[in-house]
Structure 1
Amino acid sequence: MKDIEDGPSFLSIFYELIESGVINIIRYTKRTLTETYALAGKHKLTVYDATFLHLALETGMELKSLDTRLLRVFNSEAD
């Protein structure tokens, strides 16, 4: 029960991190959904995998995965 009791203070810290810009909230728009579905179709990926691929490409972050095929697709798209 301690975790539940501590919830409000953790949420407060989380919101402060968002407001300060340390944590960025990425909102999916029609454009990003369209691009994600295009990646899924182009590479025959699930939309789930394509979402992570798109987020990594969009943010410029490295994709970490145990899925070697997904990593190959990421590397080909990132070039």
Structure 2
Amino acid sequence: MKFGHTIAYVQDVKASLAFFERAFGLKTSFLDEVAGYGELDTGSTALAFASHALMADLLPGGYVTDHESARPLGVEIGSP
């Protein structure tokens, strides 16, 4: 099995990509500003970002954004 990607749902995809570029030296491999989706070049596993607006369109039943949750979300992204 190969782990393909992780997607973080964010308010501003372009700003999130820029932060990870500055903080970790990663490069953007794909950005669709209109759709609100982008990916970083992290090797064989993609670290992607999708906007809350895109997810609202794709998931009409809704989902809970990080800032709406009263409790921490069960996810952590790290590197060795």
- TM-score, normalised with respect to structure 2: 0.28
For CA contacts below 8 A with separation 6 or more, give which structure has more relative contact order: 2
- TM-score, normalised with respect to structure 1: 0.28
